[in-house]
Amino acid sequence: MMIAAASSTLLQHVSSVSVANIVRPGFRSLSAASARNLSTAAAAAAASSSPRSLSAAQSDTRVLLGLSEPELQQLAVDLGQEGYRGKQLHHLIYKRKVKEVDDFSQLPKAFRNVLQEAGWKVGRSPIFRTVTAADGTIKLLIKLEDNRLIETVGIPVNDDKGLTRLTACVSSQVGCPLRCSFCATGKGGFSRNLQAHEIVEQVLAIEEIFKHRVTNVVFMGMGEPMLNLKAVLGAHRCLNKDVEIGQRMITISTVGVPNTIKKLASHKLQSTLAFRYTNCHSLHASNQKLRETIVPSAKSYPLDAIMQDCKDYFLQTSRRVSFEYALLAGVNDKTEHAVELAELLQNWGRNYHVNLIPFNPIEGSDYQRPTKKGVLNFASTLEARKVTVSIRQPRGMDASAACGQLRNQFQKSPLLTDSEISPPPETELAVAC
């Protein structure tokens, strides 16, 4: 998960597109298996976005979180109140961050009763667990209304004056359907898409834990954002307009899903597009053959197609594309791989940035973390060929919260009742370096 590399509503959810349209007509060399793999992931995400796939309680709940100020004003009017009550609702939800309608003390009791009788809730979920790393990174498990658990991570940056930046790394799905070979989340399976308010509440939960405003948001947690674009872009709008986080401070990442980059570019958002490492990977290889051995969906989205879409994205948005490259010892970290990667990027222009991410060990994986010398050599090889490069510093590894380490033992099966699983106190969960 974490700050991985690689955003107001799409007219059509990507996962609702037919398989024939998801895989480009030009990709006639695709194997049937490749097409089936990608379509299965898209179909799973599409099915999970249907209200029928959610619990009855969840699908019937009317949620205030995620609504804009004009929408809240209209809601107030629809419920027989003055429009300014909607402004008060907006302030209570996004400024004071009140979690329960009962606690809207600034509103008349009669209005609170009307909201509750009409089935309206704020839409905030309880924090089930927290795990704190030695570097201050905190991973949260948030229990959703259907008892599914999702992970989100708060990453603080401090200087002599205190906390200067707080990044929220948010999930877009419960689990992930893309099953990249080196990713802990992919190994845990996929349950469903998140709704927009379930994404937004992760940011508010991080603010609650740190008692500090979130300055940056990265969609690099559990799941593939491009398979849940409608909710992701709804959350993006809310985070920008209502929570007031600048678009340039928001990064939407993707492993790469055919036909989605152009749609994203059409919105001309000022947020960063990152082809990423965390739950799934995009490049992570300097050639198509090697990439297919690492990323299961690579056959459905060849490198040349990715690069063409990234070039078009830059031309439409003027926003540089960032590529996350996970360095796997002995697999894709050799000098010849760096040379090949530099040539690939230079063939498609110079408006790219490479973020190198040394592999973070996960349980059950045969991949190894490269040596520091190997990482520095890979970076210097790229720099010598005029490729802008940075090296990701690991955060939260001791709390299993660094890139690629997200894993949730409850992904496949939701909690049954609150009493069946009692979360241990935070002190028992924290892991020392």
pLDDT (tens digit per residue) in 135-149: 899 999 999 999 999
pLDDT band at 28 (very low <50, low <70, confident <90, very high): very low
pLDDT, average across residues 357-374: 82
User: Is there a contact between 383 and 338 (Cβ–Cβ < 8 Å)?
Assistant: no
pLDDT band at 242 (very low <50, low <70, confident <90, very high): very high
pLDDT (0 to 100) of residue 25: 34
pLDDT band at 125 (very low <50, low <70, confident <90, very high): very high
Question: Residue 1: is its pLDDT beyond 80?
Answer: no
Among 145, 363, 403, 420, the active-site one is: 403
pLDDT (0 to 100) of residue 140: 93
What are the DSSP calls for 244-304, one per residue? Answer: ---GGGEEEEES--TT-HHHHHTTT-SSEEEE--SSS-S--SSSHHHHHHH-GGGGGS-HH
Contacts of 74 (CB under 8 A, 6+ apart): 83, 86
pLDDT band at 260 (very low <50, low <70, confident <90, very high): confident
pLDDT, average across residues 252-256: 83
Strand, helix or coil at 108? coil
Helix (H) or strand (E) holding 219: strand 216-219
Q: Which range (238-242, 256-260, 406-410) has the least confidence?
A: 406-410
Residues above pLDDT 70, as percent of the chain: 68
Question: Residue 250: is its pLDDT beyond 90?
Answer: yes
Phi, psi of 145 (to 5 degrees): -65, -25
Is residue 151 annotated as a catalytic residue, yes or no?
Answer: yes
Among 151, 198, 201, 324, the active-site one is: 151
Where in the chain are the domains?
A: 14-24+31-57+124-413, 62-121
Token pair of 315 as six digits: 């031309």
Residues above pLDDT 90, as percent of the chain: 42
Q: Which range (28-42, 50-64, 68-82, 212-226) has the least confidence?
A: 28-42
pLDDT band at 429 (very low <50, low <70, confident <90, very high): very low
pLDDT band at 291 (very low <50, low <70, confident <90, very high): low
- Cα separation of 225 and 216, whole Å? 17
**Architecture of the domain made up of 62-121:** Orthogonal Bundle (1.10)
pLDDT (0 to 100) of residue 187: 67
Contacts of 337 (CB under 8 A, 6+ apart): 285, 286, 290, 378
Beta-bridge mates of residue 352: 321
pLDDT band at 293 (very low <50, low <70, confident <90, very high): low
- Cα separation of 86 and 6, whole Å? 37
Q: List the one residue out of 353, 375, 393 whose CA is nearest residue 157.
A: 393
Q: Which range (230-239, 247-256, 374-383, 401-410) has the least confidence?
A: 401-410
* Mean confidence (pLDDT) of the chain: 77
Token pair of 282 as six digits: 């995009």
304 compared with 35, residue with greater pLDDT: 304
Is residue 403 annotated as a catalytic residue, yes or no?
Answer: yes
pLDDT (0 to 100) of residue 66: 97
Q: List the one residue out of 63, 67, 127 whose CA is nearest residue 94.
A: 67
- Cα separation of 243 and 249, whole Å? 12
**Architecture of the domain made up of 14-24+31-57+124-413:** Alpha-Beta Barrel (3.20)
